Each structure stands twice: as structure tokens, then as C-alpha cells.
Structure 1
Amino acid sequence: MRFKDVFSIIGPAMTGPSSSHTAGAVKLGRIARQWLGELPTEAKMILYGSFAETYQGHGTDLALLSGLMNMATDDPRIPDAEEWAEKLGMDYEIVTSGLPATHPNTVKFELKAGENTCTLMGASIGGGSVVVSHLNDFRVQLTGDFPALVLRHTDKSGVIASVTSIISESGVNIGFMQVDRKAREGEALTAMEMDTIPCTDVLTRLIQLPHILDIKVIDLKKGAD
């Protein structure tokens, strides 16, 4: 694996026994929370591989819950995540799956808050690092290491060009971009990791573009609760 930084070796500041099973799980929960855009009232978490086999001993279930409540990886409330979820009125379910996954430490979130629903699949790949592979069943590759802009839009000619033009004019650099679609001229999703998130005025211009359905900002540098 390519060396990223010293924290890839020593792991992040965290509450819990394992950077993969706890710190990474918290990060995945926080990304899922930001993808939904609010605290879920209902959460189903499907665990695969090592997550499914050892989640209770490593506190992975508590870590995933804590992330959904926007706690940091070193939050002292993580061991009491179940009690906090009850206080906040979040119903949750942990399910294990014997199906294979691309990585042993994989989880799929199915989240709901009123009429707002979303899904996210991702894996904790070691040292507190994560990779999100699917958002609402669209293929992506987000790490959470950089701010990300995720746009749902109709698959129409010129949409991506208009989006990248506005972002370029704002001076924000796009480090990575991936586009996936369900069908020609159907719903599509574009995920972009950036050096910084564009300002509110730029986001407003983007949401007003033809064929843009929704925009979400995913940025773990935003303060945890």
C-alpha cells in the first residue's frame, strides 16, 4: 500500500481497541450521516467479513452508531453510544451477512429520516483509513481524507462541463472525480474530492443548473458534535 502519512502507521486518536474496527467505523458513520444530511431516525447497518465476525468484541457497532451521531474518533461517549442513540430517538439494527465483500471490514448503511433516505457502502482499510465504494448504489471512491462534493443529476449532455466550469472559475481544485449512471438519460451521480469546498455562492449556482437534483457536501474536517 502506498505510504500516505505517519498516521497510516500509528493510527488516529481514538476511543476503542482497533483503528480498523473502531476508528475507521466511526469515520464511515460520519460520512453516512453527512450523505443523509441529518441525524437518521432509523438506521440499518449490514456488516460483512471481519466486521460481521468480530464487531461486538471490537466495539464496531458502537463506533458505527457514534459516527452516525457525528462523534469524533476519540469521543469518550463512544462506549455509551447505544444510550446516546436512545436519547436522540434513533432506532437502529445491526445485521450480519455471510456474502462476500470487496474488503473484510465492510458495512452497508441504510438510513432514513422522515422522507429522506439513502444508502452507503464502505470499508475500513486499516490505520483509520476508509473507502466509500457506493452511494445509493452508484459506484464511487471516496476516502474522507479530502472534502467532497456529491451531485445527483440527470444524465444529460453538458451537465458535467457546466459543473466543472463553475468550480474552476471559483478557483477550487478538483483532485478526483467519478461519474456513474443507472441508465442513459436516467439518474446519475458525480462525486468529486477537492482541496476545499466551494463557497455558498458557488454551491447556489450549481444547484440552480438544469438537471441538477441534489448536492451534498461531505467534509470530515467539519467539527464533530
Structure 2
Amino acid sequence: MNDISIFDIIGPNMIGPSSSHTAGALRIAHLAGKLAPSKILSVTFTLYGSFAWTYKGHGTDRALVGGILGFLPDDERIRDSFEIAAEQGLEYKFIENTVEKDLHPNTVDIILHCEQNTIISLRGESIGGGNALIRRLNGIDISLTGAYPTIIVHHKDQKGVLAYITTVCSGIDLNIAFMKVYRKAKGDSAYAIIEVDSDINPSITSVLKCHEAIIDATIVPAI
């Protein structure tokens, strides 16, 4: 029998009518916002399945914008996220895709347009109970929940890169809980997802990027 937590029964502490359509959606967008390397100028949300059919009534739209703004699921500002986005100069739009059906019913694609002409794309699923799963990042299939403090390392698929990453983590006394590598193809672009048991010193990113095969490193705090 699987273990069941109290949150599986009563759901998360949140603003909104649905743990899947509001809290889970916000968590996806919150993670997306943390992956932005610079200020987000505009964002496009493509909604699938039940997200596409019910997002206005369930407040999914306001939750997604609130997540990009950095709000947590219990933040009362979610109700006013459209107005706050306008005040901050954040542009956003929603696209309803009711054609593609071979997806999780609560799926959203997010494209972030950031300063310095940087574009980040990802796909997220709201998997119930306010939980979320990032399934794709910049065209590479990954798995990211945000349940642990996480380091995301974008690198070239080369020998020695993972050894360097684990050595750096060990050097600042980080205990790795889970680590997995996702790549397009052998020798191509790849992401290492490193989930750890404690908060992460921001200085680790500059040390990681000293390796010639590492393109970027991003810290995603637990949510």
C-alpha cells in the first residue's frame, strides 16, 4: 500500500477553487519563472486538455500569471495577478489548444521572452494535490518537481562533466538526494538535474560554469 500524506487528503494551503487547476498550475509557472536567466518581458501560455476548457472559471489563468510573478499558492495577490503584471510591464497571452489530446489533461506549455533576447520554453503538468512536474525544458524531456532545492546544469554531453559537477557539490558539502541526466542525443545538449538536501550557495553556479562543457547552471529553490 502506498503511503498517503495529510496533504493528499485535505490538499495544499492555497488561493483558488482547485488544487490541480490553480495551485498546481501556479507551481508550474513559479518553477518556470525561477528558470529565467534575466527579467521576463512577456510570456505565452498554451493550455491543453481540461486546462484549455476550464482555465477561466477555475482561475488557472490568474494562477499562471501569479506563478510567473513569483507568488506562492497561498498568496492572496493571485486574485490581482493580471493587474500586478500590468503594473510591472509583464505582457502575457493564453492560447487554447483543444486539438492535441495525447497529453496529460492538465498540461501547459510556457514560453518566456526575457531580456537579452533569451527565450526559455518548457512543458509542465499539474499532477494533483497542488503538485506539478516539469516534463520538458528547451526541447529536452526532463523531470523536475521542485520538491527539493535543485541545481539545473545545461551542458554538452561529454565525458567528465558529471564527475566535475559531483566534485563541486561535494566541495561545498552538498548532499545529493537525486541526480539524473537528460540529453537530446549522444554528444548533444544535455541537462543534469541535481536535487539536494539543503539550501544551495549561489556561488556554486559560477564555479560550475568554469568547466568548458557547461553552458549554464541555475538554482531552483524548493517550492
Three-state SS of the structure 1 residue aligned to 2:158 is coil
Separation in 2, partners of 1:135, 1:152? 10
In the alignment, does 2:192 pair up with 1:190?
Answer: yes
CA gap 1:91/1:124 in 2 versus in 1, 3 angstroms? same
Instruction: Give 2:86's aligned residue.
Output: 86
Q: Paired residues, what number?
A: 221
Separation in 1, partners of 2:142, 2:2? 20
In the alignment, does 2:124 pair up with 1:122?
Answer: yes
In the alignment, does 2:106 pair up with 1:105?
Answer: yes
In the alignment, does 2:32 pair up with 1:32?
Answer: yes
Instruction: Give 2:54's aligned residue.
Output: 54
Separation in 1, partners of 2:4, 2:44? 32
CA gap 1:122/1:2 in 2 versus in 1, 3 angstroms? farther
What do residues 1-39 of structure 1 show as CA deviations (whole Å, max 9, x unaligned)? 943531232111111101110011111111000011344
What do residues 136-162 of structure 1 show as CA deviations (whole Å, max 9, x unaligned)? 111111111111110111111111111
Asked if the contact 1:8/1:129 (under 8 Å) is kept, the reply is no
Three-state SS of the structure 2 residue aligned to 1:56 is coil
Identity, % of aligned positions: 38
Structure 1 position 101, deviation (Å): 4.4
Three-state SS of the structure 1 residue aligned to 2:55 is helix
Three-state SS of the structure 2 residue aligned to 1:77 is helix
Separation in 1, partners of 2:104, 2:18? 16
Separation in 2, partners of 1:8, 1:142? 20
Which runs of structure 2 are paired with 1:175-214 in the superposition (5 Å)? 175-214=177-216
Asked if the contact 2:149/2:200 (under 8 Å) is kept, the reply is no
Structure 1 position 90, deviation (Å): 1.1
Q: What is the root-mean-square deviation in Å for CA atoms of aligned residues?
A: 1.7
CA gap 1:206/1:10 in 2 versus in 1, 3 angstroms? same
Give the residue type in structure 2 aligned to 1:103: H
Give the residue type in structure 2 aligned to 1:187: S
Separation in 2, partners of 1:194, 1:2? 24
Q: Unpaired segments of 5 or more residues in structure 2? A: none
Q: Unpaired segments of 5 or more residues in structure 1? A: none
Asked if the contact 2:43/2:91 (under 8 Å) is kept, the reply is yes
TM-score if structure 2 supplies the norm length?
Answer: 0.92
TM-score if structure 1 supplies the norm length?
Answer: 0.91
Give the residue type in structure 2 aligned to 1:113: C
Three-state SS of the structure 2 residue aligned to 1:209 is coil
Separation in 2, partners of 1:47, 1:66? 16
